Amino acid sequence: MNNSMRWSVRVLVLGVAGLVSVALAQDTLTVQNTAASAPMGGVYTSPYGISVNGTPTLLICDDFETDIYVGYSWQATPNTLTQISATTVSPLKFDSSPGSSAVLGGPSNVAEDYATAAVLSAELMTLPNFGTPSEDTETAGELSYAIWSVFDSSLYSSLTSTGSTGFGSLTTTEVDAVENDIKSAQILVAGATTAGTTNLDDISINGESITSLTVYTPIPVGASQEFLTVTLAEPPSPALLGTDLLALAGLILIARRRWASSAV
C-alpha cells in the first residue's frame, strides 16, 4: 500500500475531557489533504486536512490501522468533553481497547488513555507553524506515534522490537521520544484526575489550558479513523488581571458613592 493511502488511516481530532454534551447530530467529514505532508516511519503524520460539513480544518488521528484516502467521506458523531471518565468515553471508538498506557507504567483505563491523547494532541497543536511545511515535522511525527500507541498496543510493541521494519518502523531516538511523550502526558493527566475523572482545564500546555476535547467517532466505528481536536485558552496575564481588578474596584466605589448620595 502506498503512502498516500496509509496516511489517511491516521487522521486524528484532538481532545477528551468532561462531557459537555453528547451531540446527537451527525457531521460529514471528508479527507482533503495531508496538511504538512510530513512522513515518519513510511506514513504521513498528523495533522490532516479534513473538512467538517464543508468547513476546512486540521484534525489529528488516533487510529493507526484504518485506511482512508483523499476524497473519502463518512459520517461521524461529535462528542465534546471537558471532563473525561469511564462514562464519557463509552460512545467513543476505543472505549474498550486500552493500548500501551499500562505497558508504560501509566494509566491503565480507557478514560485516562483518551485524556493522555488529549494532552498529546494539545502539544501537537501548539507547535509553531502547526500544519504547515514549516512546522517541526520530527516532533509532530513523534507526537503522532505517541497518540497512536496509546490506543494500539501492537503498534507500540512493534516500535520497541529490535530490527522492526516496514510501516511504522522508527529509529531508537524516535522510539525514546514517543515513550517520553506518553509518560509526560500521563503525569499531567494523573495530576488533573480525581476519583476517576480528569478535568482537562486543570492541564496547561505551553501556557494554554485545555478547555475541551472534541472526538469525531465514525458511524459505524469501522467506517473510518476517529479524529480529535482540542480547544485551548490562554490564561489572562497578571497585568490584565490587575487591570480587571482595578476596574472592578472602581465600579464598586462608584456604586457606593451613588448609594451614599441617594441615602442622604
**Predicted confidence pLDDT, tens digits, the chain (264 residues):** 334 334 433 333 443 334 444 445 899 999 999 988 888 998 999 999 999 999 999 999 999 999 999 999 999 999 999 999 999 999 999 998 766 666 676 656 899 999 999 999 999 999 999 999 899 999 999 999 999 999 988 888 888 776 666 677 899 999 999 999 999 999 999 999 999 999 999 999 999 999 999 999 999 999 999 999 999 998 665 544 454 444 444 534 444 444 444 454
H or E stretch covering 225: none
Query: How many separate helices (H) and strands (E) can be counted in the chain?
Result: 6, 14
d(Cα 17, Cα 114) in Å, to the nearest integer?
A: 8
- What pLDDT sits at residue 237? 56
Beta strands 48-52 and 27-33: pairing type? antiparallel
Backbone phi and psi for residue 97, each to the nearest 5 degrees, phi listed first: -130, 70
- What pLDDT sits at residue 146? 95
Task: Answer positive or negative: Cα dihedral of 78, 81, 87, 93.
Answer: positive
Beta strands 208-219 and 48-52: pairing type? unpaired
